[in-house]
C-alpha cells in the first residue's frame, strides 16, 4: 500500500473526528462515542464486545496464531472550548482537548481498511474509555481486551511535532504516574496564641519544601523524577489556626527503583517533620500507571514502516503519563506520536488547553501507520 491509498480516506477520517469533537464525553461516560464505534465496526462485519462500561473491542480474525492489537482512547476533558470553529464542542464544559477524537477516528478508518485487506492472522481493535486519569486501560485489561494478543501498538497526536511527522523511540518514553495525599493533623486555636496550638499550616509549609529535596538529594542524578504538590487545602479564617491541612500531589519516574525510593522518602519525611512540630501526618500513596516503555524491536520496525511514507524523528522522553502502559507492561508495545502542529495554520496551543486544535492533514498518516504496522507485524 502507498500513501495515496490512505489519502482516499482523508475526508472520512476528518468527518469522524469532527463529529466526535462536537460531542465530547468524559471518562466512562462515552455512551454516544462507543455506540458509533460499535455500529461502525458491526457494519464492516467485525464482531464486537463491550467492556469496562463504555469500552469496545473489535475482533478481526482471519485465522493464524498471531494477534496484533491496536488501541485508541475515546474520552474528553472537563474544559470549556474557546475555539471558534464549525466543529467546536456542543457540550458546555467538555472538550476534546487532547486529541482522543482523532485517535478514535483514525482507528475506525484503519479498521475499515484492514477489513477489506487480505492478511494471515488476527487484529484486536481496542477502543478504550477513561484514559484521562481514570486508568480505563486497567479495566480493559481486566475485561480481557488483550487476552491472546501478542503485541500492541498505540498512537497519540502531538502538537509538538510538525504535521504528519511520526516520532518513535525505543525504551521509556513516558513516566509512571503516582498520586499522594498527605493529611497533617495538628491542634487548632486562635491565630494570636500560636503557643497553644500545633500549627499544621506551618508544618505543611516546611513539609512541601522538604519534599523538593527528594529528587535533588535522594534520586540518582542520572535518573529522572518529579515530585509536585499541586493542591493544598487548610484553614477557614485569617485568624484561626486549623486542625488539619490536606495536600495532594504527583510523582513521576521512569524506573521502579526510583519510584519505590520516592514513596519511602515521602512517608519518612512527612512523619518526622510533622513530629518535629507536634503534629502527625497520614500519607496515602497510589500507584496509578507504570512507565510507558517501547519494545526495542517494535520501535525499530515502526521506524522502518513510517519512513516509507513520512519523516521519522526521535520521540524522546516526557514526564507525562499514559495508561497505554497497562498494555505495554504485559505484552510488547509501541506507543508512537503523530505530529499535528502547524504554526502557519495557528495549530500551536498545547494539549489540555481550551484552544487546542490540530492540523487534520496529518490524520491519513496516522491511519497509514496503524494499518501498515499491523500488517507488518503479522508477516
pLDDT at 237: 97
pLDDT at 270: 98
pLDDT at 215: 97
Give Cα 229 distance to the centre of its chain.
20
Name the DSSP class of 349: P
How far, in Å, CA of 109 to CA of 10, rounded?
9
pLDDT at 64: 86
pLDDT at 63: 87
How far, in Å, CA of 77 to CA of 188, rounded?
38
Mean pLDDT, each 10-residue run in order, the chain (379 residues)? 96 98 98 98 98 98 94 98 98 98 98 96 98 94 98 98 98 96 98 98 98 96 95 97 98 96 98 98 96 98 98 94 96 98 98 98 98 97
How far, in Å, CA of 362 to CA of 162, rounded?
9
How far, in Å, CA of 344 to CA of 348, rounded?
9
pLDDT at 27: 97
Residue ranges of E strands in the chain: 47-51, 55-61, 67-73, 122-128, 151-162, 166-167, 171-174, 176-185, 189-190, 225-234, 240-241, 244-253, 280-289, 292-294, 312-313, 333-341
Strands 67-73 and 333-341: unpaired
Q: Vertex 125, ends 156 and 66: CA angle to 5°?
A: 110
pLDDT at 170: 97
At residue 273, what are phi and psi to the nearest 5 degrees? -70, -40
How far, in Å, CA of 349 to CA of 359, rounded?
12
Largest CA distance in the chain: 80
pLDDT at 25: 98
All structural domains of the chain: 3-172+291-378 (3.40.630.10), 176-289 (3.30.70.360)
How far, in Å, CA of 7 to CA of 162, rounded?
18
Contact yes or no for 173/317 (Cβ under 8 A) = yes
How far, in Å, CA of 231 to CA of 93, rounded?
22
pLDDT at 314: 95
- pTM of the predicted model as reported, rounded to 2 decimal places: 0.92
The DSSP H or E segment spanning 19 is: helix 10-22
Amino acid at each position: 500500500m502507498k500513501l495515496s491509498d490512505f489519502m482516499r480516506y482523508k475526508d472520512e477520517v476528518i468527518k469522524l473526528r469532527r463529529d466526535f469533537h462536537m460531542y465530547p464525553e468524559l471518562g466512562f461516560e462515552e455512551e454516544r462515542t462507543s455506540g458509533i464505534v460499535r455500529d461502525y465496526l458491526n457494519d464492516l462485519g467485525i464482531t464486537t464486545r463491550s467492556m469496562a462500561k463504555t469500552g469496545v473491542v473489535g475482533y478481526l480474525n482471519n485465522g493464524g496464531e498471531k494477534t496484533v492489537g491496536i488501541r485508541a482512547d475515546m474520552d474528553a476533558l472537563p474544559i470549556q472550548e474557546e475555539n471558534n470553529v464549525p466543529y467546536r464542542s456542543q457540550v458546555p464544559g467538555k472538550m476534546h482537548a487532547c486529541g482522543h477524537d482523532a485517535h478514535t477516528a483514525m482507528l475506525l478508518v484503519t479498521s475499515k481498511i484492514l477489513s477489506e485487506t487480505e492478511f494471515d492472522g488476527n487484529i484486536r481493535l481496542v477502543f478504550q474509555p477513561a484514559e484521562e486519569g481514570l486508568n480505563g486501560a486497567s479495566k480493559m485489561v481486566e475485561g480481557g481486551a488483550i487476552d491472546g494478543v501478542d503485541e500492541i501498538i498505540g498512537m497519540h497526536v502531538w502538537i509538538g511535532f510538525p504535521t504528519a511527522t511520526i516520532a518513535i523511540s525505543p525504551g521509556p518514553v513516558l513516566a509512571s504516574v503516582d498520586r499522594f495525599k498527605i493529611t497533617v493533623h495538628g491542634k487548632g486555636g486562635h491565630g494570636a496564641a500560636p503557643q497553644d496550638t500545633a500549627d499544621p499550616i506551618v508544618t505543611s509549609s516546611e513539609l512541601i519544601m522538604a519534599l523538593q529535596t527528594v529528587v535533588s538529594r535522594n534520586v540518582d542524578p542520572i535518573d529522572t523524577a518529579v515530585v509536585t504538590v499541586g493542591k493544598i487545602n487548610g484553614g477557614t479564617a485569617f485568624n484561626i489556626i486549623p486542625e488539619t491541612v490536606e495536600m495532594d500531589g504527583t510523582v513521576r519516574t521512569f524506573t521502579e527503583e526510583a519510584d519505590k525510593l520516592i514513596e519511602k522518602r515521602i512517608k519518612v519525611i512527612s512523619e518526622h517533620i510533622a513530629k518535629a512540630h507536634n503534629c502527625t501526618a497520614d500519607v496515602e500513596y497510589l500507584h496509578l500507571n507504570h512507565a510507558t516503555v517501547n519494545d526495542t524491536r517494535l520501535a525499530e520496525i515502526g521506524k522502518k514502516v513510517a519512513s516509507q511514507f513520512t519523516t521519522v524523528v526521535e520521540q524522546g522522553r516526557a514526564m507525562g503519563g499514559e495508561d497505554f502502559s497497562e498494555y505495554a507492561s504485559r505484552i510488547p508495545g509501541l506507543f508512537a506520536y503523530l505530529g499535528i502542529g502547524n504554526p502557519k495554520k495557528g495549530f500551536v496551543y498545547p494539549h489540555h488547553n481550551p484552544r487546542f486544535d490540530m492540523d487534520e492533514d496529518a490524520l491519513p498518516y496516522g491511519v497509514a501507520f496503524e494499518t501498515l504496522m499491523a500488517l507488518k507485524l503479522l508477516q
